[in-house]
Amino acid sequence: MINIVKDKNIYVDKGSKEVLRICTEIYYRSKEIDYLKGMIEANLKMAEVYLNEQDYKSALEKIIAGKNLAQQENDFYSLSLFFIQEGTVYSESGYPKKSKEAIESSLNLLKEIPDNRAHLIKSLAYRIQATNSKINQTDSVLTYLYKGYSEIKKLNNDNPYKNQFLGFFAKEIGQEYYAKHDYSKSEAYLNDFKKAMDHEKDQSDFIYYYTIKGNIENKKGNYLKALEYFDKSITLIREYKIYNLMLKEIYSGKAESYSGLHNYKNQTLYAIKAQKITDSINKIDKKILDNTTDIKDKIDMTTVDNHKKNKYLVGALILITGTVFYIFYTLRKKNIKKELQNIEEPEHSDTIFSKNKKPETEVENLKELIKLAKSNDESFFTRFSEVFPDFNQQLLQINPQLIRSDLEYCALIKLKFDTKEIARYKKVSINSVVSKKYRIRKKLNISTDENIYTWMLNIV
């Protein structure tokens, strides 16, 4: 049965649920006869399944249990892989320091591992370091990806996983070039991914391929082609039942496509879907560290005292962080009031953002939107729609004939940009802004006696 779960096409042949069932059976059969190797293999594969499903809590449970077993067995290769998996969890969850610790622990074991296996460990470590570099906003992402790509090329050609990993790194490099707006290089590496993966039975990584292709087509203005790629990604997510969190990027991409096609109803619909997933991700991320502590407490009671200290430390950090954010938020509100003295004054002092959101989230969203608006960034409207998912929908219910530029001006008014600021950032004359505001009033039946800024603030 262990050989079954080592088959690289097991996900395609069996599906994730069946893989978990088989692994659970292997684990308990191995436990009955005290066969540690079987228990280790089962935990490795189950952790892999949970990582693919982005169920990080369950993945950590298997990883921590597997690490203990691998240490007992002196199975350094498996132990190294468990550290790689742990580093992946923390990296994907936005904790680069803890991820780095896990990666260093994995690499410290290389001297105990044969070269043909060490290449794989190194490549996976480089991949995680690349992700951590993105979080830390450094310029070393491509350097790490190229190093990982190089290590994979050193694998023997008879290694059944070589093509999959070559495709994986080509896709990651293509994704990074897309982020750098170098679309020609991005497409070149995506083509390398396709060549490596076309004949593989497991096509699940094409979820990423089609999503990046869709984003590139959006940038080219080929919105219908972009929608085709996004729909292919969604089909694969449903087929393989993995990478569900990719739906956020896909829905954001579809919102941008529909915006380009002037279909604002669907643009708003997919912006709302993307925001809901963003909210879910934030909730998951905040639970990761607490879940890890709870899991470790259950597995190794000898470390209870250390965990208590960590909890107190985390609690203190949360308190300090909360205080800092509160002070920052208060100062930011005062600065905003100063900056907006020339704005047509609203009749009440409601905040722009929903009261349900936490201050730090409000401030970060506001800062991002103001920055995009000031730079006249084309992504401003899409991002605004994600932060205020119901705003455009309510305006379109009042007047379905509103065009994109109308909605953009309404967004700027909601953010309290005055006439001079709108003219400056949109690079138009003050008179044209005044005329636009007048036309918006007529389209939305806003009385001349009513303050337009107050009116926009009252729209959710």
Mean pLDDT of 92-106: 90
Q: Which has more confidence, 167 or 447?
A: 167
Nearest to 404 by CA among 387, 375, 382, 425: 382
Instruction: Encode pLDDT of 278-333 as tens digits.
Output: 666 555 555 555 555 454 444 444 333 444 444 444 444 444 445 444 444 444 44
Q: In 3-state terms, what secondary structure has residue 26?
A: helix
Question: 244 near 54, Cβ under 8 Å?
Answer: yes
Mean pLDDT over 379-407 rounds to 87
Among 60-64, 252-256, 398-402, the minimum mean pLDDT is found in: 398-402
pLDDT band at 206 (very low <50, low <70, confident <90, very high): very high
Q: Residue 241: which region, alpha, beta or left (left: phi > 0; alpha: psi -120 to 50)?
A: left
Kindly give, in sequence order, each residue whose CB lies less than 8 Å from that of residue 294, ignoring residues fewer than 6 positions away. Answer: none
Rounded CA separation 309/311 (Å) = 5
To the nearest whole percent, how much of the chain has pLDDT over 90?
Answer: 42
What is the separation, in whole angstroms, between the first and last Cα of the chain? 56
Quote the mean pLDDT of the chain.
81
The pLDDT value given to residue 344: 42
Cα 293 to chain center, whole Å?
Answer: 23
Report pLDDT digits (tens) over 349-379.
344 544 444 456 677 888 889 999 999 888 8
* Higher pLDDT, residue 365 or 191: 191
399-441: per-residue pLDDT in tens?
888 888 899 999 999 998 988 889 888 888 888 888 899 889 9
The pLDDT, as a whole number, for residue 134 is 76
Looking at residue 351, its pLDDT comes to 46
Owner of token pair 């009252």: 458
- The pLDDT value recorded for residue 405 is 87
